[in-house]
Amino acid sequence: MQNNFQDISQTRKTTQAEKSDRMRKEILLAAICCLHEFGYHRASIKKITEKTRFSQGALQHHFPTKEDLMVFVLQRLLSKSVRLTLEWLNEINEDKSRISELTIKWWTNQANSPEYLTMMEILVAARTEDTLRRRIKPTFDNFARVTDDRILAIFDSKKISQSTARTLISASRHIMTGLITADGLFMKEEEKQAYIEHWAVFLQQLFERKMQEHV
């Protein structure tokens, strides 16, 4: 009898955990939608709640403040971004002749997306919101460290110095971030795509030239 009660209790805990996980996923999608549509400062808890099946009280049971929710959103999105970026880098490592092709692929499938723009909204807001910045900094620093270390590992330091590799990493990140924030304000989608394609070709040519210099 005792084992039966334990089984029932465990089942209830599992069901509750699954329900909570589903709720968090729905809240995450609603937050991404609102941040993409309204921007950080206009994406209120009320507006985010309206895009879910839950009450505002239920949402705030999980995330008492907007800042709590934004930290959760950024952590989830950065975790996904790390996974996708490492997959992309592994493809480059297997065939460096595809740097140009895979850079365009990364832009199309990851950077130029509502999720990435959502991350930019939160990061820009953190520039002036001290508490938010302090809370997300460890997560963002870890993201940068993991991805940058993997990129540096791909390049042979005898052929491309780490300082050059770091410069290319930083330049690529800032170019894409700048194009993302333009988002229809200053250039059309096809113009952004053209910039990325030119940059991707430049990276490929630079890499190949460096390889030839050390043959």
Chunked mean pLDDT (size 10), the chain, 215 residues: 54 72 93 94 95 92 95 92 84 84 86 87 93 93 85 72 81 85 74 92 87 68
Residue 12: predicted pLDDT: 56
Residue 201: predicted pLDDT: 94
Task: Indicate the Cα dihedral angle 202, 106, 123, 73, nearest 10°.
Answer: -170
pTM for the full predicted model: 0.80
Question: What b/e string do you get for 51-76 counting C-beta neighbours within 10 Å, with b at 16 or more?
Answer: bbebeeeebbeebeebbebbbbbbbb
Find tokens 């791909």 and name the residue.
154
Select the CATH number that applies to the domain covering 66-215 from these four: 3.10.50, 1.10.357, 3.40.50, 2.60.40: 1.10.357
Domain edges within the chain: 1-64, 66-215
Fold of domain 1-64? Arc Repressor Mutant, subunit A (1.10.10)
